[in-house]
Amino acid sequence: MSKDKKGEIIMEKIDKKMFKKGLAIGEQIQEHYKVELLLSPDSRTVPTMNDRIDRCLLDIMNLCRNDTHHKAH
């Protein structure tokens, strides 16, 4: 097996791990926002899709930051 092939396989494993983790985080966040929508029946208090996506992205960024922070210690 050439070095290139080995590197590709390792990268693939890392990608799959990260992808699974990303999916899990995504599902958690989705659940969180579903609950939030159920808790606010008044449509004026329901954040628009864009607001929710922005907050989702912020949550993901914070989760990732916290994750790397924990690993550093």
User: Does residue 67 carry a pLDDT above 70?
Assistant: no
pTM beyond cutoff 0.85? no
Structure tokens at 38: 């159920």
Provide the pLDDT for residue 55. Answer: 76
Please state, in angstroms and rounded to a whole number, the distance separating the CA atoms of residues 31 and 11. Answer: 30
Domain boundaries, the chain: 3-72
Over residues 7-55, the pLDDT tens digits come to 676 667 777 787 788 778 777 777 776 666 666 556 555 556 667 677 7
CA atoms within 13 A on the CB side of 32: 12
